[in-house]
Amino acid sequence: MRGFTLVELLVVLALMGLALTLASPLIGNALPGTEMRAAARDVATGLRYARSLAISSNSDVTFDVDVEARRFQVSQSPRNGGFPKDAEIKLTTARSELFGTGGGSIRFFPDGTSTGGGVEIIREKRRFVVTVDWLTGRVAITP
């Protein structure tokens, strides 16, 4: 007769359960990094959109960051987003673009240049930095 015995099936199920138990913490630890990476990509996408909008509309467009509210938004657009709730957010921008106690803007001009700056998303030992070159308006993500 061909087939598996009940003991063989129980051993396989026990091994699968053990493997799942050992793998689940690894999967759980990977998710926060994924969330931060997604937030950094959202910020970079918003910055690139703001630059494109400034060029196409031939007017200044700002990418506004409210650190306290943990939100960002492109002016003249409904495009907005948020940051992970337990991550530290740091904004680097021109002094003239700071507003309030916890926010500021990165301004893009019609020729594609910008005031430059960056947004850091930090959680524990992980850090993502989205930077904007002032001369070219180029946006880059550094893990």
Distance CA 61, CA 106 (A): 9
| Domain spans, the chain | 34-142
Q: Which residues of the chain have pLDDT under 70?
A: 1, 24-32
54-62 long-range CB contacts below 8 Å, 24 or more apart? 54/108, 54/109, 54/110, 54/112, 55/108, 55/110, 55/111, 55/112, 57/110, 58/110, 59/110, 60/107, 60/108, 60/109, 60/110, 61/107, 61/108, 62/97, 62/105, 62/106, 62/107, 62/108
Correct CATH for 34-142 of 3.55.40.10, 3.30.460.10, 3.30.70.100, 3.30.70.580: 3.55.40.10
At 29 the pLDDT is 54
At 104 the pLDDT is 96
At 8 the pLDDT is 86
Instruction: For the chain, give the longest Cα–Cα distance.
Output: 83
At 27 the pLDDT is 61
pTM for this entry = 0.78
At 32 the pLDDT is 60
